[in-house]
């Protein structure tokens, strides 16, 4: 007779660095909250998800409106190397979009 065994390890096809993203208009505000979290893994997951979302100019516009730039600015001083690297990558992707370039001029 077979017995069910529950493994303590994650399945091989699950990536622990990817965050679950909320749907619709709640996605970027939720990620902005997670960027400000005290938990390192939560910040890393949020940065990975944000990096994927920023390839769409509409998401860049919403991210700027929700205050993600201020959160990203604070993460540039984080103690973790990976957080600083991914923050720089997100800012680079945002700056390459026309929306991101124009927003920097308006905020000065």
* Cβ pair 35, 68 in contact under 8 A: yes
Core vs surface per residue 73-89: b (16+ CB within 10 A) or e: eebeebeeeebeebbee
For 2-61, how does the pLDDT look when each residue is reduced to its tens digit (9 = 90+)?
Answer: 666 665 665 566 565 566 676 667 889 999 999 999 999 889 989 988 988 898 888 888
Domains of the chain: 24-107 (1.25.10.10)
For 10-19, how does the pLDDT look when each residue is reduced to its tens digit (9 = 90+)?
Answer: 556 656 556 6
DSSP per residue, 47-102: HHHHHHHTTSHHHHHHHHHHTHHHHHHHHTT-S-HHHHHHHHHHHHHHHHSHHHHH
């Amino acid at each position: 007779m077979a017995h069910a065994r529950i493994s303590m390890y994650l399945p091989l096809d699950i990536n622990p660095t990817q965050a679950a993203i909320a749907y619709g208009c709640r996605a970027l505000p939720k990620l902005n909250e997670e960027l400000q979290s005290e938990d390192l893994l939560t910040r890393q997951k949020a940065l990975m998800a944000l990096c994927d979302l920023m390839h769409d100019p509409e998401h860049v516009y919403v991210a700027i409106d929700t205050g993600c730039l201020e959160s990203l600015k604070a993460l540039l001083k984080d103690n973790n190397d990976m957080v600083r690297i991914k923050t720089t990558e997100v800012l680079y992707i945002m700056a390459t979009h026309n929306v991101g370039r124009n927003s920097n001029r308006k905020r000065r």
